[in-house]
Structure 1
Amino acid sequence: MNDSPAYEARTGDIVVRVRPSYLAGQSDPEGGRWVWAYQVEIENHGPAPVQLMSRFWRITDGRGVEEEVQGPGVVGQQPVIAPGERYAYASGCPLTTPSGVMEGLYQMVDPSGRAFEAAIPAFSLDIPGDRRVLN
């Protein structure tokens, strides 16, 4: 993971940690495009494995315009996370403003078939030097 601040949420035995970082090399401020990467860790502190089935994201740009993204798994996978283990992945988000906020939910299922949601913490997308901290 990178050295940027982590945003964290705990839902029961599941901890989700996110670290966003601005990608200046992929951004084009003059063209109205700013791009961020974010690294996610999902830790299972429970006694049984869990499987991440789907994701839901709410992305809000600097003008307050919201976009919702949902679908199966993350980065093409529906990982099973064993007790005491973690799953990590990286993804990205372009915006048409120099700041924004992301938050969401993972739909998880336990071995008995019980479905539950794990919160993804709200995290701020800001260009360096213009950082605001949400939590």
Structure 2
Amino acid sequence: MLTLEQAGRIVDAALAKGAASGFQPLCVIVLDAGGHALALKRDERASISRPEIATAKAAGCLGMGFGGREIAKRAAAVPGFISALNTIFPKGILPVPGGVLIRDHQGVLIGAIGISGDTSDNDELCAIAGIEAVGLVADTGA
């Protein structure tokens, strides 16, 4: 089970990676395996809809069972299907990097992180850094 303490550390490490890399202001959310928010922080300079974007990245990964990179591949192959999921998934889905599943070392899915604010690739780099900072495994869908 992903704990509140771990989620907080993941968010802080992801934000620190973004700041150290000179990325645009970020918003980071960590969801548990059931899609419930454990931690969310938005840099005060980030635009107002970043929490919703970050949530859709993370929740979409949980809903599909794979990371944002795989969702992006599938969106390219069957765009209508992925687009339709936004009407089904209550928290949305975004077919881009920046949504990453969080797994334990046995491969068990324990949550997801979503980041928005810079390029999707940079958002993903920060997500991976956050997950690895607490000794868990990042699953980007690559």
- Give the TM-score, by structure 2 length: 0.32
Give the structure with the larger strand fraction: 1
When Rg is computed on C-alpha atoms for both structures, the one with the higher figure is 1
Query: Which structure has the highest helix share of the two?
Result: 2
TM superposition score normalised by structure 1? 0.33
